[in-house]
Amino acid sequence: MPHAQAPKQTQRALVLGSSSPYRRELLSRLKLSYDVAVPDVDETPHPQENPRDLALRLALAKAHAVARNHPTAVVIGSDQVADLDGEPIGKPGTHDRAVAQLRRMRGRTVVFQTAVAVVCHETGFEQVDLAPVHVKFLDLTDDEIESYLLAEQPYDCAGSARSEGLGIALLAAIESDDPSALVGLPLIRTCRMIRAAGIRVL
């Protein structure tokens, strides 16, 4: 008599809750099928909220905002806040703001607080973690700052620099235990968390 085959388990859908093309590129490195949904979250910091807590709160809020519309899926949310002596440094948006940011950061160490959250509303799964990245900037001249910004125009990046591009030339050192965290999604932590949520990575 033939043995009955065990029913195949269907893997849950995976959803990235982010509008960032950088996070999409990073998650695509895992060769997983996933959807993208843009979270509707107010990113205004709370009064006296430090960058670390802000990043953690927003990552979780983004994941839950998307999971409300995808309750059976495993949802990833992420957020990054540049931290200069406890002050959040956001995306500059304009050339003049980027100049001001880089002038403030030259010769100093900035902590890029990169948070990732994974939730599944159907199972009640929720995890959130932080991958801080310590970035030492060179003591840049005004001409070097201007030359860089005109070449790369990183106005959608927290801290006004793209380390995966020409922005690496602005830096003296990067210290992190999760190499992709500086770009916007810490993949070591993401893999660990989505595995715990039931996603087969390999």
- The answer to whether the beta carbons of residues 130 and 75 sit under 8 Å apart is no
Torsion region of 48: left, alpha or beta (phi above 0 gives left; psi -120 to 50 gives alpha):
left
- The answer to whether the beta carbons of residues 78 and 114 sit under 8 Å apart is yes
Query: How far is Cα 22 from Cα 190, in angstroms, rounded to an integer?
Result: 15
Catalytic residue (one of 40, 79, 142, 156): 79
Beta strands in the chain (DSSP E): 14-17, 35-37, 74-84, 87-89, 109-120, 125-137, 171-175
Query: How far is Cα 30 from Cα 162, in angstroms, rounded to an integer?
Result: 22
Which DSSP string corresponds to 160-199? S--TTTGGGGGEEEEE-SSTTGGGT--HHHHHHHHHHTT-
Query: How far is Cα 56 from Cα 119, in angstroms, rounded to an integer?
Result: 13
Catalytic site includes residue 79: yes
Residues with a known catalytic role: 79
